[in-house]
Amino acid sequence: MVGMREVARKANVSPGAVSRFLNQDKTLSISEDTKQRIRAAVRDLNYDINKRKYEKAKIQSIGLISTIDRKKEIDDPYFSQLREGIKEEAQRLHLGLNRTYYLAEDNPQEWKDFDHLGAIVIIGTVNESSIQKLMKQNKNIVIVDNPDITADVDLVYADFERMIQKNLSLLVAAGHTNIAYIGGYNIDINEYGKKEINENEKRLRAYKQFMYDQGLKQNINYKLGQWEPLEGRRMADELLAEKVDDFPTAIIVGSDPLAVGVYHSLQSAGKKIGEDLALISFDNIEIAQSLTPGLTSVNINSKEIGNAAVRLASEKINGERGENVVLTFPSKLIERESFHFS
């Protein structure tokens, strides 16, 4: 029996475009010529319309579950670019993006209505048990930025742990051993939007492991808070108060927004970043190069991560592979005045 993929091949379009066109998806944007090719392929192949109605139960569409609230998604360049990458690739592959669940805000009472979607992309640290529950409705799941999940799903994430290790190695090679870490808590969220705040954050985890492995256990010194500039300042202020006579010669900061607050704190205390201490951060957002001195930061292409997540979802929807995939995206350290490593 002729299937939708045969129709898509004959019409030279994606299966997603065929599905959405035949299901009269009003959000689909394709040319009249493309529509005519699909109609002709359906007619020439004698495609079974009744089968098409059956296939409607699994539409060519992606549901998005995010642990990031709407404001943060807009304000934080990492997440805004990630979402842009998801949107861009979904449009290119003619996949609908017609349902978004913000767990931190929407206060859902239960997982529901995910069984008819082609696939689900989850951004952030939804806990393992909630993922297992969701898989009872839909097994086509791609998880972004949560490498600790062991369920049978696709994973795509930036390799933060490797970059922490690389940055620490550069600092140690430059003679630094008194190295502190300032970052944010890990926040696990379940299907009801309930948060569990803990220290199991991948950057902190890699920092502690490196210090142990290098025989620097006695120098482990870290501060955790929320992922925002004011918290960065607060944590740096605490570090200054606690380490008056033995202040770290280097600090790794978990994100550039946090680093903005750290800069304000250190500079208010008379510390010369790049001279009195080295500082490395993550994200390489625009503000990293406008700070004085310029902030050495890890560049992470979150837009490409978003693109990849949708491509993995599309492969699952179309049955193009049976095995799950884990994609890790490499990052690049951009050197500026806060730390010279060359």
Whether 30 maps to a domain, the answer reads no
Judgement on whether residues 135 and 165 belong to the same structural domain of the protein:
no
pTM as predicted:
0.79
Judgement on whether residues 154 and 164 belong to the same structural domain of the protein:
no
> Distance (Å, rounded) from C-alpha 6 to C-alpha 51?
13
Whether 286 maps to a domain, the answer reads yes
pLDDT digits (tens, 9 = 90+) for 175-227: 999 999 999 999 888 888 788 999 999 999 999 999 999 999 999 999 999 99
pLDDT digits (tens, 9 = 90+) for 239-293: 999 999 999 999 999 999 999 999 999 999 999 999 999 999 999 988 888 899 9
Judgement on whether residues 193 and 294 belong to the same structural domain of the protein:
yes
Cβ atoms of residues 148 and 186 within 8 Å: no
Whether 28 maps to a domain, the answer reads no
CATH no. for residue 287? 3.40.50.2300
pLDDT digits (tens, 9 = 90+) for 22-75: 877 766 778 888 888 888 888 888 887 555 544 444 567 899 999 888 888 888
Judgement on whether residues 263 and 296 belong to the same structural domain of the protein:
yes
Mean pLDDT calculated for residue range 315-325: 88
pLDDT of residue 178: 97
Mean pLDDT value across the chain: 89
- Categorize the per-residue pLDDT at 90 as very low, low, confident or very high, splitting at 50, 70 and 90: very high
Q: Whole domain around residue 293: which residue ranges? A: 160-300
**Is residue 320 over pLDDT 90?**
no
pLDDT of residue 57: 45
Judgement on whether residues 175 and 231 belong to the same structural domain of the protein:
yes
Judgement on whether residues 233 and 210 belong to the same structural domain of the protein:
yes
pLDDT of residue 54: 43
pLDDT of residue 76: 84
Whether 340 maps to a domain, the answer reads no
Whether 52 maps to a domain, the answer reads no
pLDDT of residue 330: 85
pLDDT digits (tens, 9 = 90+) for 115-153: 888 999 999 899 899 899 889 889 999 999 999 999 999
Number of domains in the chain: 3
pLDDT of residue 56: 44
Judgement on whether residues 309 and 198 belong to the same structural domain of the protein:
no
Judgement on whether residues 154 and 80 belong to the same structural domain of the protein:
yes
Q: At what angle do helices 15-22 and 32-44 cross, to 10 degrees?
A: 90
Judgement on whether residues 226 and 198 belong to the same structural domain of the protein:
yes
Judgement on whether residues 187 and 282 belong to the same structural domain of the protein:
yes
Whether 29 maps to a domain, the answer reads no
Mention every residue, 6+ apart, whose C-beta is less than 8 A from residue 42: 7, 22
- Between strands 326-329 and 332-334, the pairing is unpaired
Judgement on whether residues 83 and 184 belong to the same structural domain of the protein:
no
Judgement on whether residues 103 and 167 belong to the same structural domain of the protein:
no
